């Protein structure tokens, strides 16, 4: 049942205009659809009309006003087929659906008391019979009828054009969306919602009303999202020349939502976790996430909606580009190097793991069973890295010309990744043919580099060798075009040396192009021996190996002009030390701290920097998950012990320095999610983490005081985490109790309360997880709760990977239940088990047994596809 890219055909019939009427009812909503259809000019006459439709009860169907008898159409589980239709006609259907029974949260469903929709990728077919594919674009006119008292607010895409009262306490609103769109961008919301309103004037003078719709108790949590929206609108005008195109832009917050948010035309629907903030309930990280997601969905209005995807294989066309756009936006309005460090450290941990596992796939896959499984880090984040490389390859100005060309040429169309890259090639005059391989080859390329300085000739020879490992279905890989930004840092001067390659200057911070499997670069006229600083700013999504000595790394940490690579040198240095300690732990040898790491930390702690945010990142050790990525066989216990050892020895040796950093960064000013405040808080909290790792009395009382001060959620949550993750239940339990009681009414805060408890390293985490699954605030039908409790537990490395297999069992049981309730969430939750090949034999067997237990169930396509790949 796999679908292949190579089978693409244009639709037999197009829809010019779609008229919908919803008569809302939780158990039986009636949906009337009138489609104005015409034969596709590139398709033969006389083809049957095939409409997608799932879980619909068909009431009636008519063509050009003539109703059809049961023998005049074929109805299957997947849809409706009608033969012998004219080449231009009107189709009327009426169906009933049951939103209250929809736990998959695709199509029309209920969240709390309200109705809402999620149609991307293929949810619209659960609303009505339709050609549910992105290359069918129509204008929509939608009438929503509801109970005036229960659903005072009735929303859909575009502009409201008519409203009125109906008998029996019902009322209606009609919406018109003048921009042709695929049905995955359709949205409807109805319920007892309240709004916050603002205005924005676009660069050409259009006056736009901005609304954020929430449940009444959340009215105080919309300021930051609204401010972010206005910043994003202005930024897209200034950076890409893109302007908003309707008079109204709406955001709605819903509690039950599979993903972060959805860019429905003019009516973005958000997971409440991705839009609501308040200093008392949301952390700095949450404020920044909201800003990024609000921008992301807004940016889709052009990169996604005005120009959309021809088919779902092209998903990264809109997602990769839009993630790149939101990343640059966040970098522009916050600290750019810190944003890059955070994005890359997440990418190298999670996307590298995906690309090395059984579900690895190219940024443009060539087949799938369930498209819902392809909203992945590869499509989104690796896709964004490819767009970033493109920008660096052609330069910002050509990139912007290419982007203008793309939007002008394809406005109102559904297009492909080739179309996008062709615009970049055209605007820049560059040959991007080899570059296209990035879209079709899966797996993380590895570059083995080495270099030598020749004193006599004043030359540095750098040799790079690339290889991309085999991935499922792709045994042999070709050499990619990899642009690497780099510098040569002089060992005497500590400065970037001027780079001369083949007699030509490429500056001091230049780009070299690796195109062959192996290539040599000879830099000439170098008066001093350099240490190379390669792939600056993570200029390509690759693993770069260079045989750096620890002295080289300490040197780069102190001298590299690239903030990102300075941070990376520190990470590499820590990883080398951690490697030794992991080996020592496994061999039962006494652990000895590498003093070069301690000295590097001492220097960092004592430098007076104005960039506290970068410093906080530099003082943060690689995560257990990232360390695991570097190991041939993952030993969760050794990794945990080694990292803990480094933390404690640093804290022991540098206690006074950490304490000083903590104290200088305590701030009583009113909370603001501003870069300087955020930087100081993160530095202070990193220091507190080190201090708490040795749990001395000073640290404990600082953590307790910070918890009790209730100054803002960032500080409270961090303190609560440290108390909960300490070895002392007498610190953990009272704090958890206070917090849990105080926030029992706030679901988003309770999510944090769940996560903190189930991620504690103590060996009762599993029992706590089981116990909390019975808590009244937990619910398996709410994706946020599932992620906060079960998802977070599966990231608790030492406890999820318990040797009695109980951690795996807990996850598998949840997957089995969710397979029936919400297949998309079930398939996603399963991810950690699919990585079974990375562990020792005992754990492999235990994990595999759970995968097989799931396999024996009656599986949804989502879970089926992931299980098949995992066990292949
Ligand atoms: N297009 C949305 C976004 O990235 C995500 C939609 C995901 N839908 C899904 N069924 N997984 O902004
Ligand atoms: Zn998106």
Nearest one of 239, 363, 257 to 299, comparing CA atoms? 239
Q: Kindly report the protein residue whose alpha carbon is nearest to atom 3 of ligand 1.
A: 262
What b/e string do you get for 402-416 counting C-beta neighbours within 10 Å, with b at 16 or more?
bbebbbeebeeebbb
Quick check: helix, strand or coil at residue 140?
strand
Residue 301 Cα, ligand 2 centroid: separation in angstroms?
Answer: 10
Q: What was the ipTM of the complex prediction?
A: 0.98
pLDDT band for position 769 (cuts 50, 70, 90): very high
Please give the share of the chain, as a percent, with pLDDT higher than 90. Answer: 99
Which atom belonging to ligand 1 lies closest to the Cα atom of 106? 10
How many Å lie between the centroid of ligand 2 and the Cα of residue 300? 7
Comparing CA positions, the residue from 185, 177, 93 lying closest to residue 139 is: 177
- Gap from CA of 393 to ligand 2 centroid (Å): 24
Closest ligand relative to 326 C-alpha: 2
Query: 120 C-alpha vs ligand 1 centroid, how far in Å?
Result: 6
Q: Whose CA is nearest to atom 8 of ligand 1?
A: 120
Buried b (16+ CB within 10 A) or exposed e, 562-596: bbbbbbbbbbbbbbbbbeebbebbeeeeeeebbeb
The answer to whether the CB of 61 falls within 8 A of the CB of 91 is yes
Question: Does the structure show a pLDDT above 90 at 751?
Answer: yes
Nearest ligand to the CA of 264 is 1
The separation between CA 319 and the C-alpha centre of its own chain, rounded to angstroms, equals: 10
- Identify residues whose C-beta is under 5 A from ligand 2, the ion: 319, 322
Tell me phi and psi for residue 692, to 5 degrees: -70, -20
pLDDT of 215-236, one tens digit each? 999 999 999 999 999 999 999 9
Quick: pLDDT tens for 95-146.
999 999 999 999 999 999 999 999 999 999 999 999 999 999 999 999 999 9
User: Within a 10 A sphere around the Cβ of 475, how many other Cβ atoms?
Assistant: 7
pLDDT at site 283: 98
Mean pLDDT to the nearest integer, 85-94: 97
Atom of ligand 1 nearest to the CA of 304: 1
Ligand having the closest approach to the CA of 375: 1
Closest-CA residue to 259 (of 454, 91, 119):
119
* Ligand 1: centre distance to CA 758 (Å): 27
Measured CA to CA in angstroms, residue 301 lies from 18, 309, 310 at distances of 20, 13, 16
Give residue 445's pLDDT. Answer: 98
* pLDDT surpasses 90 at 1: no
pLDDT at 153 over 90: yes
Q: What is the DSSP letter of 378?
A: I
Using the mean position of ligand 2's atoms as its centre, give its distance from the Cα of residue 260 in Å: 9
Q: What pLDDT score does 739 carry? A: 98
Name the residue with the closest Cα to ligand 1, atom 1.
262
pLDDT, residue 440, reads 98
Distances (CA, A) of 461 to 464, 487, 495, 516, 833: 10, 13, 19, 16, 44
Query: How many percent of the chain have pLDDT more than 70?
Result: 100
- The 10s digit of each residue's pLDDT in 275-295 is 999 999 999 999 999 999 999
120 in contact with ligand 1, CB cutoff 6 A: yes
Mutation test residue for ligand 1: of 375, 783, 866, the one with most atoms within 8 Å of CB = 375
| Separation CA 866–CA 359 (nearest Å) | 7
- Shortest-distance Cα residue to atom 12 of ligand 1: 262
In the annotation, is 297 catalytic? yes
pLDDT value of position 668? 85
Does ligand 1 have an atom closer than 6 angstroms to the CB of 783?
no
Mutate to test the pocket of ligand 1, among 119, 259, 826, 829 (most ligand atoms within 8 A of CB): 259
385 CA to centre of ligand 1 in angstroms: 19
pLDDT of residue 420: 99
- Average pLDDT (559-583) is 97
372 lines ligand 1 (CB under 6 A): yes
CB 92 less than 6 A from any atom of ligand 1:
no
Pairwise CA distance, residues 465 & 529, whole Å: 22
Which ligand 1 atom is at minimum distance from the Cα of 123?
10
Q: Is the CB of 261 under 6 A from ligand 1?
A: yes
- What's the whole-number mean pLDDT along residues 60-84? 98
pLDDT at 821 over 90: yes
CA distances to 98, 109, 686, 705 from 95, in Å: 10, 15, 57, 60
Residues 352-404 have pLDDT tens digits of 999 999 999 999 999 999 999 999 999 999 999 999 999 999 999 999 999 99
pLDDT score recorded for residue 609: 82
Answer yes or no: is pLDDT of 64 > 90.
yes
pLDDT value of position 546: 98
Kindly give the distance from the C-alpha atom of residue 297 to the centroid of ligand 2, in angstroms, as a whole number: 6
pLDDT in tens, 627-650: 999 999 999 999 999 999 999 999
CA neighbor of 673 nearest in space, from 280, 353, 350: 280
pLDDT-based confidence at residue 610 (cuts at 50, 70, 90):
confident
34: CA distance to ligand 2 center in Å? 29
Q: What is the mean pLDDT of residues 817-831?
A: 98
Q: Is 326 in the pocket of ligand 1 (CB under 6 A)?
A: no
Cα of 825 from ligand 1 centre, angstroms: 13
Is the confidence at residue 608, as pLDDT, over 90? no
The rounded Å distance from CA 108 to ligand 2 centre is 20
Nearest CA residue ID for atom 5, ligand 1: 262
What local confidence, expressed as pLDDT, does residue 789 receive?
99
pLDDT score for 374? 98
pLDDT at 65: 98
**Pocket perturbation via mutation, ligand 1, pick of 260, 262, 321 by most ligand atoms within 8 A of CB:** 262
| Mean pLDDT, residues 657-671 taken together | 95
Does ligand 1 come within 6 angstroms of the Cβ of 259?
A: yes
Distance CA 579, CA 645 (A): 12
Residue-wise pLDDT tens digits, 318-350: 999 999 999 999 999 999 999 999 999 999 999
Query: Phi and psi of 263, rounded to 5°?
Result: -85, 30
Query: Which ligand has an atom closest to residue 259 CA?
Result: 1
Average pLDDT, the chain: 98
Q: Is 319 in the pocket of ligand 1 (CB under 6 A)?
A: yes
* Rounded Cα distance, 62 and 476, in Å: 53
> What is the length of the chain?
872
- Pocket of ligand 1 contains residue 370 by CB under 6 Å: no
Ligand in nearest proximity to the CA of 258 = 1
3-state secondary structure 209-265: EEEEEECHHHHHHCHHHHHHHHHHHHHHHHHHCCCCCCCEEEEEEECCCCCCEECCC
Catalytic residue among 151, 263, 297, 850: 297
Q: What is the pLDDT of residue 83?
A: 97
Contact indicator for 112, 215 with CB cutoff of 8 Å: yes
The ligand placed nearest to the CA atom of residue 827 is 1
Per-residue pLDDT reduced to its tens digit, 23-41:
999 999 999 999 999 999 9
Residue 865 has pLDDT above 90, yes or no: yes
Mean pLDDT of 663-682: 95
pLDDT at 667 over 90: no
């Amino acid at each position: 049942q796999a679908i292949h890219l190579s089978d693409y055909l244009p639709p037999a019939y197009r829809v010019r205009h779609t008229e919908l009427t919803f008569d809302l009812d939780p158990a039986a909503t009636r949906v009337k659809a009138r489609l104005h259809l015409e034969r596709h000019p590139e398709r033969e006459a006389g083809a049957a009309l095939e409409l997608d439709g799932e879980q619909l009860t068909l009431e009636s169907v008519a063509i050009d006003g003539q109703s059809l008898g049961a023998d005049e159409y074929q109805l299957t589980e997947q849809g409706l087929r009608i033969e012998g239709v004219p080449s231009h006609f009107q189709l009327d259907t009426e169906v009933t659906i049951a939103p209250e029974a929809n736990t998959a949260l695709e199509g029309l469903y209920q969240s709390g008391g309200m109705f809402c929709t999620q149609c991307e990728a293929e949810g619209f077919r659960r609303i009505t019979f339709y050609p549910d594919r992105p290359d069918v674009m129509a204008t929509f006119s939608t009438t929503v009828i509801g109970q005036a008292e229960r659903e005072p607010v009735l929303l859909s895409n575009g502009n409201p054009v008519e409203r009125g009262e109906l008998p029996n306490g019902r009322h209606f609103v009609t919406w018109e969306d003048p921009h042709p769109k695929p049905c995955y961008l359709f949205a409807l919301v109805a319920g007892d919602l309240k709004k916050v309103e603002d205005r924005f004037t676009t660069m050409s003078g259009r006056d736009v009303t901005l609304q954020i719709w929430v449940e009444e108790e959340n009215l105080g949590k919309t300021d930051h999202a609204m401010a972010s929206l206005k910043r994003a609108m202005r930024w897209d005008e200034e950076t890409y020349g893109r302007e908003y195109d309707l008079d109204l832009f709406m955001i709605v917050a819903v509690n039950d939502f599979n993903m972060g948010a959805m860019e429905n035309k003019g009516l973005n629907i958000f997971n409440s976790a991705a839009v609501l903030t308040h200093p008392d309930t949301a952390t700095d990280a949450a404020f920044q996430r909201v800003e990024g997601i609000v921008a992301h969905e807004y940016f889709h209005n052009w990169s996604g909606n005005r120009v959309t995807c021809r088919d779902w294989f092209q998903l990264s066309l809109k997602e990769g580009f839009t993630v790149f756009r939101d990343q640059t936006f966040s970098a522009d309005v916050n600290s750019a190097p810190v944003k890059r460090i955070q994005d890359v450290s997440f990418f190298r941990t999670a996307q590298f793991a995906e690309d090395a596992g059984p579900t690895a796939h190219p940024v443009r896959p060539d087949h799938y069973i369930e498209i819902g499984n392809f909203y992945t880090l590869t499509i989104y984040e690796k896709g964004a890295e490819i767009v970033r490389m493109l920008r660096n390859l052609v330069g910002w100005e050509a990139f912007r010309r290419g982007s203008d060309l793309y939007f002008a040429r394809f406005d109102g169309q559904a297009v492909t990744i080739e179309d996008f890259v062709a615009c970049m090639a055209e605007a820049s005059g560059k040959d991007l043919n080899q570059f296209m391989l990035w879209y079709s080859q899966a797996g993380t390329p590895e570059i083995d580099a080495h270099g030598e300085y020749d004193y006599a000739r004043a030359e540095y020879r750098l040799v790079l060798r690339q290889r991309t490992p085999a991935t499922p279905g792709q045994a042999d890989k070709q050499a990619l075009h990899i642009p690497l930004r780099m510098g040569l840092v002089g060992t005497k001067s500590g400065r970037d040396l001027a780079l001369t390659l083949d007699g030509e200057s490429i500056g001091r911070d230049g780009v070299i192009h690796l195109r062959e499997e192996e290539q040599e670069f000879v830099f000439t006229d170098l008066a001093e021996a350099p240490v190379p600083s390669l792939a600056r700013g993570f200029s390509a999504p690759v693993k770069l190996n260079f045989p750096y000595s620890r002295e080289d790394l300490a040197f780069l940490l102190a001298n590299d002009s690239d903030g990102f690579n300075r941070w990376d040198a520190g990470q590499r240095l820590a990883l080398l030390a951690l490697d030794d300690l992991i080996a020592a732990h496994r061999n039962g040898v006494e652990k000895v701290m590498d003093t070069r790491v301690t000295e590097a930390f001492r220097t960092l702690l004592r430098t007076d920097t104005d960039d506290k945010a970068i410093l906080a990142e530099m003082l943060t050790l690689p995560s257990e998950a990232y360390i695991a990525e570097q190991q041939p066989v993952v030993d969760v216990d050794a990794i945990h012990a080694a990292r803990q050892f480094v933390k404690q020895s640093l804290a022991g040796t540098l206690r006074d320095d950490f304490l000083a950093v903590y104290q200088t960064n305590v701030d009583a000013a009113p909370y603001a999610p501003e870069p300087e405040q955020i930087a100081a808080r993160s530095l202070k909290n990193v220091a507190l983490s080190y201090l708490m790792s040795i749990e001395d009395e000073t640290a404990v009382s600082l953590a307790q005081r910070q918890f009790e001060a209730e100054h803002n959620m960032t500080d409270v949550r961090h303190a609560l985490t440290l108390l909960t993750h300490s070895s002392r239940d007498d610190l953990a339990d009272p704090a958890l109790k206070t917090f849990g009681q105080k926030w029992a009414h706030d679901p988003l805060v309770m999510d944090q309360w769940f996560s903190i408890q189930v991620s504690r390293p103590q060996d009762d985490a599993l029992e706590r997880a089981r116990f909390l699954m019975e808590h009244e605030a937990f619910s398996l039908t709410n994706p946020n709760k599932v992620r906060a409790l079960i998802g977070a537990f599966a990231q608790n490395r030492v406890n999820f990977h318990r040797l009695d297999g109980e951690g795996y069992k807990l996850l598998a049981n949840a997957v089995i239940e969710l397979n029936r309730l919400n297949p998309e969430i079930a398939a996603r939750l399963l991810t950690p088990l699919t990585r079974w090949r990375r562990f020792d034999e005992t754990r492999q067997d235990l994990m595999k047994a759970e995968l097989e237990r799931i396999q024996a169930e009656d599986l949804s396509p989502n879970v089926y596809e992931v299980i098949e790949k995992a066990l292949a």
